[in-house]
Amino acid sequence: MSVYEDLPVYKKAQDMAVYFEKVVKHFDKYNKYTFGHEYRMLAHRIVILIAKANTRQQRRESLVEALDKLEELKIILRLGKESRVFNSFNSFEFATKSVIEVSKQCEGWLKSLNS
């Protein structure tokens, strides 16, 4: 088992990425390959950056990049909502809450590094 697998933020990011894998399956064909691809790739990148933040000297840089990717994901989620990509509001709401929760945990971790 890797060191980062016990981190609550890593587990939450992993859950978020798995959720995007599942929800994208229900998008129509066009949105699956446009919005869905973006959601999935950003979620994957965030999980990787959080894992790197726990094991690298450049912890701060990895967390800042993860927060940037999370912000991108929030923006694209809003665009997806406006474009009616999600089959239900609940799917959008759950995705958004997951992203916000991971963001808060990353911000807290970053703040603790600055202390």
Residue 1 lies in a domain: no
pLDDT tens across the length of the chain (115 residues)? 566 777 899 999 999 999 999 999 999 999 999 999 999 999 999 999 999 998 777 899 999 999 999 999 999 999 999 999 999 999 999 999 999 999 999 999 999 988 7
Range of the domain at 82: 6-114
- For residue 83, the domain's CATH number is 1.20.1440.60
Render 6-71 in DSSP notation, one character per residue.
G-HHHHHHHHHHHHHHHHHTTS-HHHHHTHHHHHHHHHHHHHHHHHHHHHSS-HHHHHHHHHHHHH
pTM over 0.95: no
* Residues 76 and 39: beta-carbon distance below 8 Å: yes
Q: How much of the chain exceeds pLDDT 70, in percent? A: 97
Residue 82 lies in a domain: yes
Measured CA to CA, the distance from residue 91 to residue 93 in angstroms comes to 5
Domain count, the chain: 1
Question: In this structure, what DSSP letter does residue 95 have?
Answer: H
Residue 41 lies in a domain: yes
Short-list 101, 74, 90, 94, CA closest to 11: 101
Residue 91 lies in a domain: yes
